């Protein structure tokens, strides 16, 4: 009797490194998870340890595959990685030469660049120029870290997305590869050439030889050291989310609410002019091996779980317990509004924004203030949904994943506010299911979903419009 296939899905995010062993239906056979430590300083520096992330991901993989049931054989592995996070390493030894500068890191905010550079980045890479992008951080490492400068002089420097460093370390191949979905977040990628762009490299003072070699998201990246299979898929974590049920649809908006919340809407046709929309263009791998890349409009909200963490610290708590979220959303009476500018305002404003603040908070209690923070996340999502409808026509349904999706109250809250049904995968995470859809191909079994039907809530919609009056004017 032949073995039943199973797949190893690795999801390396800002908060944890996770490995899942799943069958073709997405049923979890084994799991390993390790938290990721983060150092924050000065309000704009957010760092992690690349060697520790690699070791913890290796340990998570070993734990997941250690319980592989009899009769199952590993058919392949995929790795999804937090995107804008970068680091530098020694191309000879693979040893890190810098910390991981998180996608949330904004240390280059005050750095001066040529006035025409943002426009060139927008047209070429499809992304907005910002300190969250990889290229400014790579330039900072070259300017500020002696070990990086020494390696550059000696021809030993490799620098780029965290995913390239992890793929090399997981396989022990000694080769440095990266895929287009991760390369795009460096701001050095040409979406038309599907390669590094020489003009952008020159603008940032970087060299092609110092970057990983580009390969398709589906590629044989080498044999894993901690599992008996090969790494055959590498990509950005958010880019996997729209593929959670296989084929994507243009009338669906996909939201993954983790540390931040990322909003993606697949496009039926490529967008020729990225500057015609307030959103970014993100590349999605095709489900078929030889198909062309697909594209999606992408927005981001910087303050999702990070806003809840900010609130916990402000209230003298270590964290907000999960049951408190639903309890807060059930509070009655007038509650305050929260101006959610944690880590700056993302789409469609794309600006630092004023300092985070509660409005009309006099006399409010802890749960009412927590409800205001949850309201603000839903309000920011509605703003983006409306702007995406203006850019691409009506949205029929919202698919929500990530930590906040596990709160039934928030799912219903978002459905009530947007007037759209909110769907949530059952028995699987969206990023992992997207990886599985790409690995399995035509044999992918679409997972079941729960659906939250919109209900009329005039008080919620009134609060939204009052909150919107306090936000910066939209373009």
CB atoms under 10 Å from CB of 155, counted, come to 10
Cα(205)–Cα(451) distance, integer angstroms: 49
CB atoms under 10 Å from CB of 227, counted, come to 22
Model pLDDT, residue 443 = 65
Cα(437)–Cα(434) distance, integer angstroms: 5
Model pLDDT, residue 1 = 39
Cα(124)–Cα(305) distance, integer angstroms: 32
Rg (CA), the chain: 22
Q: Are 158 and 212 in contact (CB under 8 A)?
A: yes
Q: What is the pTM of this model?
A: 0.91
Domains of the chain (ranges; CATH) run: 4-238 (3.30.420.40), 244-475 (3.30.420.40)
Q: Which residues of the chain have pLDDT under 70?
A: 1-2, 69-71, 427-428, 442-444, 474-475
HSE, side-chain direction, 13 A CA sphere, residue 271: 26
Chain-centroid distance, C-alpha 458? 32
* Residue in this structure with the two tokens 């191949």, named with its chain if needed: 173
CA dihedral 87, 91, 97, 103 (to 10 degrees): 0
């Amino acid at each position: 009797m032949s073995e039943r296939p199973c797949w190893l899905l690795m999801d390396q995010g800002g908060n944890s490194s996770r490995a899942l062993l799943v069958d073709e239906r997405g049923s979890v056979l084994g799991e390993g998870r390790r938290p990721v430590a983060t150092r924050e300083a000065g309000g704009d520096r957010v760092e992690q340890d690349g060697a520790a992330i690699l070791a913890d991901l290796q340990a998570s993989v070993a734990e997941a595959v250690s319980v592989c049931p009899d009769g199952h054989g590993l058919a392949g592995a995929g790795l999804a990685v937090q995107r804008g996070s970068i680091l530098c390493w020694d191309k000879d030894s693979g040893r890190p030469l810098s910390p991981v500068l998180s996608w949330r890191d904004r240390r280059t905010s005050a750095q001066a660049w040529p006035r025409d550079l943002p426009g060139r980045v927008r047209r070429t890479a499809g992304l907005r120029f910002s300190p969250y992008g990889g290229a400014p951080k790579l330039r900072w490492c070259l300017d500020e870290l002696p070990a990086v400068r020494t390696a550059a002089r000696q021809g030993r420097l490799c620098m780029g997305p965290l995913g390239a460093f992890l793929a090399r370390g997981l396989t022990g191949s000694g080769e440095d590869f990266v895929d287009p979905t991760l390369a795009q977040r460096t701001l050095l990628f040409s979406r038309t050439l599907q390669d590094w762009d020489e003009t952008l490299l020159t603008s940032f003072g970087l060299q092609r030889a110092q970057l990983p070699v580009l390969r398709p998201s589906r590629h044989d990246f080498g044999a894993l050291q901690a599992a008996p299979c090969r790494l055959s898929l590498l990509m950005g974590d958010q880019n996997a989310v729209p593929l959670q049920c296989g084929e994507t649809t243009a009338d669906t908006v996909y939201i993954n609410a983790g540390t931040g919340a990322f909003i993606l809407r697949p496009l039926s046709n490529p967008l020729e002019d990225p500057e015609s929309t307030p959103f970014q263009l993100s590349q999605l791998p095709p489900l078929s091996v030889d198909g062309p890349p697909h594209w999606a409009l992408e927005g981001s909200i910087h303050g999702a779980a990070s806003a809840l963490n900010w609130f916990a610290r402000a209230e003298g708590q270590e964290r907000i317990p999960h049951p408190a979220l639903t309890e807060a959303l059930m509070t009655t009476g007038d509650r305050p509004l929260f101006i959610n500018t944690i880590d700056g305002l993302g789409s469609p404003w794309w600006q630092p924004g004023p300092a985070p603040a509660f409005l009309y908070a006099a006399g409010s209690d802890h749960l009412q203030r927590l409800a205001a923070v949850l309201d603000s996340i839903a309000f920011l999502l509605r703003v983006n949904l409306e702007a995406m409808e203006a850019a691409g026509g009506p949205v029929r349904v919202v698919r929500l994943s990530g930590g906040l999706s596990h709160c039934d109250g928030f799912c219903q809250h978002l459905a009530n506010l947007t007037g759209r049904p909110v769907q949530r995968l059952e028995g699987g995470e969206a990023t992992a299911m997207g990886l599985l859809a790409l690995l399995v191909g035509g044999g992918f079994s679409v997972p079941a979903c729960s659906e939250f039907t919109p209900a009329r809530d005039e008080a919620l919609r009134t609060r939204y419009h009052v909150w919107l009056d306090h936000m910066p004017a939209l373009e």
